[in-house]
Chain A
């Protein structure tokens, strides 16, 4: 797909390097202690001066995950300390914003550390705009993945030292759905439910049977042929007359797939799904439960069991491996 003409301006920015952004504060114990309190980090290396003195550093050091936090501007956006560049390392995000991609969400944070930084050190970083991806549509909306690489340095009279690097990737997007400001307050996170089957006049008997703990198979009244999935007409004799028989629920795995990626809630991970050949002779697709990886094999004997999900909203026939 051809890109909008303004994208050439965005593309031209890729590879650009931006000058230093300084830290408001030198690495200091009070900010470290508060960070540890929030995160629940209890390593005395960050908070106990006596313990820290006994380590190879001889003093309290910053928790490594705090590296980026030292150089953030704080309450007022783009209010960087004196000595910082007057360029905006995030100008590409502003440009995307001006074209309607107003929302942003952080996607990747890849930190690597050359060394730990001690209390008293003063940090800054420089930035390179590494990449702007193709336009993508995700569940959040449509937009661009933007990758920045920031190199962190400690100021030293004898020459600044690189202490770490951060690859930071954000998704800059136009939201797919904006919630009304007066939307009801969400007290609890909505648990993700199992998708429900689409029930039609042809399939209702099957799901009613499952809800009653029975595995019902459609049978032609004229010629006796069993069929699944359900349908209005016998594929053999074309009769519209049918009734059902209750299957024993015993069968074997005719084929299977084990879903590893993506991990889809609320299903088990990995998620094994079988094509089950019932002893009565028809096949159906169903989830496998309680199966060790080596039990998921063609020919493995299985038995149906009915499991209830989402507070009884849904009952599903699932199959569990059994001894032959």
Chain B
């Protein structure tokens, strides 16, 4: 069982800001995240291969970014929230040594479906690594 509470639809207002979440970007997170998502593209775990592709170091794969976005939205909403959509666009790459800080706000509340949309971004030292939206159905 979990002691964590899930936000109820009635408790959420459009414009409400989510607390920021800072995620240190490390070699284990990038390489481990790629393997955990079954992505063996060399640029995500082999620094030499990444450099040959024009990158200074290994870079995070998009499936890990999606996973971190899920974590950010879910850690705010609680375990009973249900994802309807998770849509992201990538910008600046995540390289080891950087920090990505998520911020977001509730952009839409749909009372008929008890659904909220969160608009979020994950920013690193080079700009936005990810921007996107998450649709959640709340109890």
Q: Which of B75, B83, B85, B96 contacts A110 (CB 8 A)?
A: B85
What is the interface size of chain B, counting residues whose CB is below 8 A from a CB of the partner?
Answer: 54
Interchain CB contact under 8 A, A179 and B51:
yes
Interchain CB contact under 8 A, B70 and A68:
no
- CA A51 to CA B1, docked complex, whole Å: 5
Interface string of B117-139 (1 = CB under 8 A from A): 00000001111100000000000
- CA A109 to CA B69, docked complex, whole Å: 12
Q: Which of B52, B95, B98, B126 contacts A181 (CB 8 A)?
A: B52
Whose C-beta in chain A lies nearest to the C-beta of B62?
A106
A41 to chain B, nearest CB (A): 5
Q: Which of A64, A108, A180 contacts B83 (CB 8 A)?
A: A64
B56 proximity list for chain A (CB < 8 A): 179, 183, 186, 189
A55 proximity list for chain B (CB < 8 A): 80
- CA A9 to CA B40, docked complex, whole Å: 29
Interchain CB contact under 8 A, A38 and B36:
yes
B38 touches A (CB below 8 Å): yes
B36 proximity list for chain A (CB < 8 A): 31, 34-35, 37-39, 69
B4 to chain A, nearest CB (A): 8
B74 touches A (CB below 8 Å): yes
Tally of A-B Cβ pairs under 8 angstroms: 154
B85 to chain A, nearest CB (A): 4
Interchain CB contact under 8 A, B63 and A41:
no
- CA A108 to CA B86, docked complex, whole Å: 11
Interchain CB contact under 8 A, B64 and A192:
no
**Interface-lining segment among A111-119, A122-130, A283-291:** A111-119
A10 to chain B, nearest CB (A): 22
B109 to chain A, nearest CB (A): 19
Interchain CB contact under 8 A, B89 and A108:
yes
A29 touches B (CB below 8 Å): no
Interchain CB contact under 8 A, A189 and B95:
yes
Give the residues from 16 to 40 in chain B that come closer than 8 angstroms, CB to CB, to chain A.
23, 29, 32-33, 36-40
- CA A177 to CA B2, docked complex, whole Å: 50
Interface string of B63-82 (1 = CB under 8 A from A): 11111111100110001101
Whose C-beta in chain B lies nearest to the C-beta of A265?
B127
Give the residues from 248 to 297 in chain A that come closer than 8 angstroms, CB to CB, to chain B.
263-266
A235 touches B (CB below 8 Å): no
Whose C-beta in chain B lies nearest to the C-beta of A141?
B54
B110 touches A (CB below 8 Å): no
Please judge, given known A-B contacts A44-B1, A187-B97, whether A39 and B33 are in contact too, CB under 8 Å. yes
Q: Which of B62, B74, B75 contacts A109 (CB 8 A)?
A: B62
Please judge, given known A-B contacts A38-B32, A41-B74, whether A186 and B95 are in contact too, CB under 8 Å. yes
A selection of 11 A-B contacts at a CB cut-off of 8 Å is A39-B64, A39-B67, A65-B69, A68-B37, A69-B37, A108-B88, A110-B85, A167-B87, A178-B54, A179-B52, A189-B95
Residues of B within 8 A of A (CB): 1-2, 23, 29, 32-33, 36-40, 47-48, 51-57, 61-71, 74-75, 79-80, 82-90, 92, 95-98, 124-128
